[in-house]
Structure 1
Amino acid sequence: MLEHSGEETASPWHRGELAMQRSLGVVERMDGPGRNFVREVMPEQHRAFFPMLPFVVLGTVDAKGDVWATVRAAQPGFMSSPEPETLEVSLPREPADPADDGMEDGAAVAMLGIQLETRRRNRLNGVIRRTDPGAFRLRVGQSFGNCPQYIQPRAAAFVRDPDVPTAQPPLRSHVLDDRARRMVESADTFFVASYVDRENGERQVDVSHRGGYAGFVHLGADGALIVPDFAGNRFFNTLGNFLVNPKAGLVFIDFETGDMLQMTGKVEVLLDSPEIAAFPKAERLWHFTPENIVFRPDALPLRWTSDV
């Protein structure tokens, strides 16, 4: 875990992101993009994008300080932006979702809007203002777009009313069973949440997409997930968070059944390891050790196909 320093006060990036950028010698090069592309308001393009989506990815932190990633679905229009500083979200509370504990009034959260069929994605984070159990308003802290790299195109369709939750209960454990292992080892997509507490006392949560060839995530003999990190935009939001606070929340989706596999646990970042050579085009790796696992059958009312 990195020590605090005064360097981040003069930079748009926090100390973990700076450490990752420093490892590649790109600190000065990334200063400008950080100031120009990471905004405190949503641009018009993003404000129009979120209302089109039938689902959103969220990253939250529960009362114990564990971070969770989740996916929530509703009819398009459940999100809207009345002004550039806010995003209004109409979603009911979901007790079966371990991420729901981190959606109280005043909580810091992150959101990823992703349209798999067009490979568009935009991210934001901020603080929840909630006066209604069926909705909240997100006050934007950071808003920025991402490139379409590593997104596997898929088209989504509802198979039931999204207001009607599944009747199947969540299954909780501390180790991956055979079904969960198959989901991980066959996946070409998952989402990861992380967070840091900044020097100014503000909590900054992030949630992002990870994709690759089917089976790009490996499982170690000890049950840890071994995840390759490929070349990207050099923002290093996720890995930078890991260096400061080695906690992560992962969610895998079975796109054919709507099942979700959610995990929270500890992370180790490997910048230089012989293991990297086993992953084509990987620049580094990270290991994720799950501590709490929730498998939620039929959690999502959507099904996806690759016919796009």
Structure 2
Amino acid sequence: MAPRRHPGERAVRERAGLSGRAALSDDAIRAEIPEVAAAFLAERTWLVLGAVDAHGDPWCTLLRGPAGFLRATGPRTLDAAALPGAGDPLDAHAAARVGLLAIDPLTRRRMRVNGVARPRPGGLRVTTDQVYANCPKYIQKRHPRPVPPGRRGAPACGTRLSAEQRSLVGGADTFFIATSGPDGDADASHRGGAPGFVRVHSPTRLSWPDYAGNAVFNTLGNLWSRPRAGLLFPDWETGAVLMLTGSARVGWEGTSRTVVFDVGRTVSVPGAGLLAPGEPGYSRFNPPTAPASPEGAPR
């Protein structure tokens, strides 16, 4: 049975003029884990996790492990033999609504899993509510590998982007975003484009265009209902990660969309990510990066 959509998702679909196309995408979403999805998950060595912390702020983080650390143990049960690291904003031990994204940049395949995570010895057990694949658009082709053991550093926290962090964000071709809906369901998604598609307007404001996808609109629908988001920017050169949480809103020009994000808190963790140095194989779907607007930051 296709999932029921909350008012924010329905509103965005109607505003974008894609309600009919979105309904077709809904037909591919199931609560159970298909065999092809279970096989794909079992091959992964990292996973994007999105959830809301005890303060109600969404965050996006990474789980890592050897192939097999993700395992479907039942029709609607996924076990992850990994936990967020010490000092991670999602380093908690209570049940939580989570959004998971398993992605293979080398083959440009990705799988979304949303559900409820409960702690288990050495990891998490997720009861799935939504399982579905996404199209390969905007995924840059690269082969991430684990950071060598012992390279993880202490988290550094702040409320503004440093010059180094602004450089990382402004040159990014990939980031991940976590949101939650009005009923508390969490979601994690991928965003990609040519370097420079994320605009850094100030130490506390970013924006990026929302490119055409599968018209499900989990992310934008959640932002319509609850304008908060968590972002994760990998540093493929050093293996560090930059996590941000803050407010996000969608600006419309006709049916075109831009997301404006205002930074609330930042967490940077050396060695907590993945290594894939060098230029990737850029997606042929990446639109050209538009020149910076002379008006500066969106209002």
Fold shared, TM-score > 0.5 on shorter chain: yes
- The equivalent residue for 1:180 is 165
Corresponding residue SS for 1:94: coil
Report if aligned partners of 2:224, 2:250 keep a CA contact under 8 Å in 1: yes
- The equivalent residue for 2:205 is 224
Q: Residue 116 of structure 2 is aligned with which of 113, 116, 127?
A: 127
The separation in 1 between residues aligned to 2:161 and 2:84, in whole angstroms, is 27
Corresponding residue SS for 1:220: strand
TM-score with structure 1 setting the length: 0.86
User: 1:148-297 maps to which residues of 2 (within 5 A)?
Assistant: 148-161=136-149, 164=150, 166=152, 168-198=153-183, 203-221=184-202, 223-272=204-253, 283-297=256-270
CA deviation digits over 1:225-278, x for unaligned, max 9? 0111111111111011000000000000110110110000001110128xxxxx
The separation in 2 between residues aligned to 1:254 and 1:21, in whole angstroms, is 33
- Which structure 1 residue ranges, 4+ long, deviate > 6 Å from structure 2? none
The separation in 1 between residues aligned to 2:44 and 2:186, in whole angstroms, is 21
Corresponding residue SS for 1:239: helix
CA deviation digits over 1:132-153, x for unaligned, max 9? 2x11210001111100000000
2:10 corresponds to 1:15: no
- The equivalent residue for 1:279 is none
Report if aligned partners of 2:142, 2:276 keep a CA contact under 8 Å in 1: no
CA deviation digits over 1:124-170, x for unaligned, max 9? 110112232x1121000111110000000001223414xx462x211
Q: CA offset at residue 304 of structure 1?
A: 4.8
Relative to its length, the structure with more helix (as a share) is: 1
The separation in 1 between residues aligned to 2:182 and 2:123, in whole angstroms, is 26
**Cα RMSD between the aligned structures?**
2.0
Corresponding residue SS for 2:144: strand
- The equivalent residue for 1:139 is 127
Q: CA offset at residue 299 of structure 1?
A: 1.7
Q: CA offset at residue 222 of structure 1?
A: 6.5
The verdict on how the C-alpha distance between 1:155 and 1:222 changes in structure 2, with shifts beyond 3 A counting, is: closer
2:114 corresponds to 1:114: no
More deviation in 220-229 or 62-71? 220-229
Report if aligned partners of 1:47, 1:84 keep a CA contact under 8 Å in 2: no
Q: CA offset at residue 26 of structure 1?
A: 2.5
2:69 corresponds to 1:89: no
The verdict on how the C-alpha distance between 1:64 and 1:21 changes in structure 2, with shifts beyond 3 A counting, is: same
TM-score with structure 2 setting the length: 0.88
- The equivalent residue for 2:33 is 42
The verdict on how the C-alpha distance between 1:11 and 1:85 changes in structure 2, with shifts beyond 3 A counting, is: closer
The verdict on how the C-alpha distance between 1:21 and 1:55 changes in structure 2, with shifts beyond 3 A counting, is: same
The verdict on how the C-alpha distance between 1:30 and 1:197 changes in structure 2, with shifts beyond 3 A counting, is: same
2:78 corresponds to 1:105: no
Report if aligned partners of 2:228, 2:248 keep a CA contact under 8 Å in 1: yes
Residue identity matched to 1:128: A
Residue segments in structure 2 that go unaligned for 5+ positions in a row: 282-299
CA deviation digits over 1:205-240, x for unaligned, max 9? 000000000111001146310111111111111011
2:70 corresponds to 1:79: yes
Report if aligned partners of 1:80, 1:89 keep a CA contact under 8 Å in 2: yes
The separation in 1 between residues aligned to 2:144 and 2:278, in whole angstroms, is 7
The separation in 2 between residues aligned to 1:135 and 1:204, in whole angstroms, is 20
The separation in 1 between residues aligned to 2:279 and 2:42, in whole angstroms, is 23
Residue identity matched to 2:176: F
The separation in 2 between residues aligned to 1:256 and 1:89, in whole angstroms, is 26
Q: CA offset at residue 99 of structure 1?
A: 2.2
Residue identity matched to 1:248: A
The separation in 2 between residues aligned to 1:57 and 1:115, in whole angstroms, is 11
CA deviation digits over 1:82-108, x for unaligned, max 9? 22201000014522211223xx33211
